[in-house]
C-alpha cells in the first residue's frame, strides 16, 4: 500500500473525475499530490512529459486525463479522439515505466465494449464483436490504454490497473452544449428552456457568460441568444433531445467513481485481479537512475505462459442499475421544476441501445456505490445552479 507521504501524480486533476480523486486522496491524508493544467503540461508532447517525470519522479500515477465528449463531438472530431488519447496514454504510461512508478491507475470507459455485447457486460466481453460506430475512435484508444497496462504487467511485472467507469456525472462536469455528455447537457437544456419561459434573462445571461455557445455570450443580443439556443433544441418551455429516448444508460456519481478509484489504487494489485499471489514479487526489467535496464531480461515471462492466456484484467466500475434516456429526462425535469414539453428528434442517432455493466469483480474487490441516481441528479443541478451565482 502507498504510504501517506507517497508522491502521487493525478493527470487531469481539474476534470470531472480527476478533481474528485484529488479530493478523495486529500481526505484520506495523502497530501503529497502533483497536478498540472493543460497549459502547464501538454500530455500529448512526449518531451514535455519526459521532462516532467524527470523532475518530479512520482511514486504513483492516476491517469484521468483524456480528450472526451458526447455523440456530437465523437462524430465531428474522430481523428482527434483517437490521436489525442493515444498520445496522452503512450506518453504517460511509457514515462511511468521508464521512471519506475510503483503503481498506476488508468481510467477508461465502458464504451470499450461491443455495441451488441450481452447485458450486463462483463470484462470478458471485450473485443468479442464490433464497437458502436459513433464512439469507435475513443473506444479503440481506451482499449489500447488498458492493453498497455495489462501488457506492461505481463512483460515487466509492473502494477498498472485499468478501471472502466460507466457514464459519469458530478461536480466540475462539462455543461458546454457543443461537446458535453448526456446528463449535463440535458440539465442545462431543460433549465434554460424553463428560464426562457420564466423570462429570467438575468440568469440566462449569467449562464451564457459562464459557458458561451458558438461565440454567443451573455452580452449578446437577446435574439442571437435565442437563435443559438434553438439550434441546440432549446426554446420557450420546450426541449428537443437526440434520438428516440429508448436507450438504456447506467450512471455513476463522480465522487463515487473517485472513491472506487482510490480504493483500487491503495488496496488492489494486479496479482489480486489475476489470482497469482506471488506475481507482484516478480519484476521483469529494473528501473536504473530513471531509465529502464532493457538488458535485464532473465526470466522474462516467468511462470506466466503455463497459466494460459491472461486478458481482460481491467475492472468495471458502476452501479449495475439503469434507466432509459426518456426516464432520465423526466427525472431532470422534475428536479429542475420544468413543466414544458420534451420531444425526441428521431432523425438523430441513439448511440448504443444499452450499456449496463456487470460489477461483480468490483464488489469482490471490496467496493460498492453509494449515491443513487435521484440524489445524484439533484446534487448536480444544485452544483450547476449555484455556480451561476458565484461566477
Burial class (CB in 10 A: 0-12, 13-18, 19+), 150: buried
Residue 189 contacts residue 235 (beta carbons within 8 Å): no
Q: What are the cell numbers at 155?
A: 512483460
- Choosing from 9, 30, 138, 152, the catalytic residue is 138
* DSSP output for 218-233: TTS-HHHHHHHHHHTT
Please state, in angstroms and as integers, the Cα–Cα distance from residue 359 to each residue in 27, 122, 259, 315, following that order: 25, 8, 15, 8
Q: Is 138 among the residues known to form the active site?
A: yes
CA atoms within 13 A on the CB side of 229: 31
Q: Report the first-to-last Cα separation within the chain, whole angstroms.
A: 40
Partners of 351 in the beta sheet? none
- Note whether 207 and 222 are within 8 A (CB): no
HSE-up of 72 (CA within 13 Å, CB side)?
13
d(CA 243, CA 347): 7
Sequence-ordered alpha helix ranges (H) in the chain:
16-27, 46-56, 71-76, 78-98, 136-156, 182-198, 201-210, 222-231, 254-267, 270-274, 325-336, 360-364, 373-388
Grid cell, residue 196, equals 426562457
**Cis before 120 (ω within 30):** yes
Do 46 and 92 meet the contact criterion of CB atoms below 8 Å apart? no
- Here the cell at position 139 is 473506444
DSSP 113: S
Q: Please identify every residue annotated as catalytic.
A: 138
Amino acid at each position: 500500500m502507498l504510504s501517506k507521504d507517497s508522491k502521487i501524480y493525478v493527470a487531469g486533476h481539474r476534470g470531472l473525475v480527476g478533481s474528485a480523486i484529488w479530493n478523495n486522496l486529500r481526505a484520506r491524508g495523502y497530501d503529497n499530490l502533483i497536478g498540472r493544467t493543460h497549459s502547464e503540461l501538454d500530455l500529448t508532447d512526449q518531451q514535455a512529459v519526459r521532462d516532467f517525470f524527470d523532475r518530479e519522479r512520482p511514486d504513483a500515477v492516476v491517469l484521468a486525463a483524456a480528450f472526451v465528449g458526447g455523440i456530437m463531438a465523437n462524430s465531428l472530431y474522430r481523428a482527434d479522439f483517437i490521436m489525442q488519447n493515444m498520445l496522452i496514454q503512450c506518453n504517460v504510461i511509457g514515462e511511468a515505466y521508464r521512471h519506475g512508478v510503483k503503481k498506476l491507475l488508468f481510467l477508461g470507459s465502458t464504451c470499450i465494449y461491443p455495441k451488441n455485447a450481452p447485458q450486463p457486460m462483463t470484462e470478458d466481453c471485450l473485443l468479442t464483436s464490433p464497437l458502436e460506430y459513433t464512439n469507435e475512435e475513443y473506444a479503440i484508444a481506451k482499449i489500447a490504454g488498458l492493453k498497455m497496462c495489462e501488457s506492461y504487467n505481463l512483460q515487466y511485472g509492473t502494477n498498472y490497473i485499468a478501471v472502466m467507469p460507466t457514464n459519469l456525472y458530478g461536480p466540475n462536469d462539462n455543461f458546454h452544449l457543443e461537446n458535453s455528455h448526456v446528463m449535463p447537457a440535458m440539465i442545462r437544456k431543460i433549465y434554460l428552456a424553463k428560464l426562457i419561459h420564466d423570462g429570467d434573462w438575468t440568469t440566462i445571461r449569467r449562464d451564457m457568460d459562464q459557458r458561451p455557445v458558438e461565440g454567443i455570450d451573455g452580452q449578446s443580443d437577446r435574439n442571437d441568444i435565442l437563435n443559438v439556443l434553438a439550434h441546440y433544441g432549446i426554446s420557450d418551455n420546450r426541449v428537443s433531445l437526440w434520438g428516440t429516448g429508448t436507450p438504456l444508460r447506467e450512471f455513476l456519481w463522480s465522487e463515487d467513481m473517485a472513491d472506487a478509484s482510490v480504493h483500487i489504487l491503495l488496496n488492489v494489485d494486479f496479482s489480486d485481479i489475476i489470482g497469482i499471489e506471488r506475481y507482484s514479487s516478480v519484476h521483469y526489467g529494473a528501473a536504473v537512475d530513471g531509465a529502464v535496464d532493457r538488458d535485464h531480461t532473465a526470466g522474462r515471462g516467468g511462470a506466466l505462459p503455463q497459466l494460459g492466456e491472461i486478458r481482460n484484467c481491467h475492472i468495471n466500475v458502476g452501479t449495475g442499475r439503469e434507466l432509459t434516456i426518456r426516464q432520465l429526462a423526466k427525472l431532470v425535469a422534475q428536479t429542475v421544476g420544468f413543466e414544458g414539453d420534451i420531444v425526441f428528434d428521431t432523425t438523430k442517432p441513439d448511440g448504443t441501445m444499452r450499456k449496463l455493466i456487470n460489477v461483480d469483480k468490483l464488489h469482490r474487490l471490496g467496493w460498492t456505490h453509494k449515491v443513487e441516481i435521484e440524489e445524484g441528479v439533484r446534487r448536480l443541478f444544485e452544483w450547476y445552479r449555484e455556480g451561476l451565482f458565484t461566477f
